[in-house]
């Protein structure tokens, strides 16, 4: 029998797998095997062919693990930074300069800086105003300072006298056998005093007369108001200016060629009639930086005379209240 006539059953049923060439998978430039997909990365090892029974052939090439990629850090500069705060070669002063410059301003630091600026500005304004107020006293003579101290002593004495008078009235009410009669007498006396202050009753007594000659027309209403306030602070009990009674509700305003007092226009010369203690009223007007000195700076002539009897006869009509009524009636 010839070879062609031999039955086909004599051939082996399974062809043994071909041996895989012993080539490292990670070798650069090696082509992937036929059974590996081309889209896989190059570092994935190729899969070994399997036999019909599902076992891997004995000639499978061992897998070679891919060496881990080590990231190379950039080499540091051979020359160390000259301004680094941690360098051992830097001095303390250099480190301080590096820490302060360039400045790093935060929002909180900015707010604190603004608050400190406002506080400093307020203190500066207060110091400046205090310096302006005390400038007149700093340049005053010894006689003027003594006069100011005397005026302060007189004011203190007046307050003590008023306190003693009130305490005396209280003792009289407590010790009187007829307290109702004593209270009525004190009420009448108090009504008379309040009438003088309200301008509804004429008054007379010791005091001063002050005359202001304003030939230049520079005297304004605020200057006369300062004079009235100074006289009241010195203990004036009744004041009259050019026939107009000055009371607690009196107002002054500038008018053409003069000053208006409670709507009544008056012109220069301005004559003040003041009832009070002359020893207190005159020094209050002549203190350094006071009324007389201010008016003289405005080229006005001021004369102050003491007298034992001043008559204040200008009256104010009493105002009847619209709703208030006395509870004793």
Give tens-digit pLDDT for 200-213. Answer: 889 999 999 999 99
The pLDDT assigned to 58 comes to 44
Q: What share of the chain is helix, strand, coil (3-state, %, to 5)?
A: 40, 15, 45
pLDDT of the residue at 145:
78
Question: Is residue 2 scored above 50 in pLDDT?
Answer: no
As a whole-number percent, the residues of the chain with pLDDT over 70 amount to 69
pLDDT in tens, 66-112: 555 544 544 444 444 444 444 556 787 888 777 777 777 788 888 88
Structure tokens that stand for 18 in this block: 């071909």
Q: Which two tokens stand for residue 315?
A: 């009256």
pLDDT digit string (tens) for 133-154?
556 667 677 777 777 787 788 7
Report pLDDT digits (tens) over 282-300.
988 988 888 999 999 989 9
What is the arithmetic mean of pLDDT over 250-260? 89
Give the separation between CA 203 and CA 193, rounded to whole angstroms: 10
Q: In this structure, what token pair is assigned to residue 217? A: 């027309």
CB proximity list for 261: less than 8 A, separation 6 or greater: 241, 242, 244, 246, 250, 251, 252
At 48 the pLDDT is: 56
Counting residues of the chain whose pLDDT is more than 90, the rounded percentage is: 22
């Amino acid at each position: 029998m010839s070879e062609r006539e031999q039955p086909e059953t004599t051939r082996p049923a399974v062809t043994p797998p071909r041996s895989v060439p012993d080539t490292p998978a990670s070798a650069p430039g090696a082509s992937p095997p036929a059974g590996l997909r081309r889209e896989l990365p190059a570092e994935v090892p190729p899969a070994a062919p399997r036999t019909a029974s599902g076992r891997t052939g004995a000639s499978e090439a061992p897998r070679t693990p891919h060496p881990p990629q080590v990231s190379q850090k950039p080499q540091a500069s051979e020359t160390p930074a000259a301004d680094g705060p941690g360098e051992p070669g830097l001095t303390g002063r250099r480190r301080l300069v590096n820490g302060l410059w360039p400045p790093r301003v935060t929002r909180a630091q900015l707010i604190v800086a603004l608050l400190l600026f406002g506080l400093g500005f307020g203190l500066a304004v207060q110091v400046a105003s205090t310096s302006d107020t005390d400038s007149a006293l700093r340049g005053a003579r010894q006689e003027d300072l003594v006069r100011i101290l005397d005026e302060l002593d007189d004011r203190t004495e007046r307050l003590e006298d008023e306190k003693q008078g009130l305490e005396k009235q209280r003792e009289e009410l407590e010790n009187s056998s007829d307290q109702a009669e004593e209270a009525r007498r004190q009420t009448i006396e108090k009504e008379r005093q309040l009438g003088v202050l309200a301008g509804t009753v004429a008054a007379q007594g010791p005091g001063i007369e002050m005359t202001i000659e304003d030939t230049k027309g520079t005297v304004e209403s605020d200057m006369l108001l300062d004079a009235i306030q100074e006289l009241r602070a010195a203990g004036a009990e009744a004041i009259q200016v050019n026939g107009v009674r000055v009371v607690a509700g009196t107002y002054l305003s500038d008018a053409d060629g003069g000053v208006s007092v409670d709507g009544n226009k008056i012109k220069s010369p301005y004559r003040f009639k003041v009832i009070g203690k002359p020893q207190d009223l005159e020094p209050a007007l002549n203190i350094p930086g006071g009324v007389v000195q201010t008016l003289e700076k405005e080229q006005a002539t001021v004369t102050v005379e003491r007298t034992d009897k001043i008559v204040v006869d200008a009256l104010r009509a009493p105002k009847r209240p619209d709703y208030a009524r006395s509870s004793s009636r």
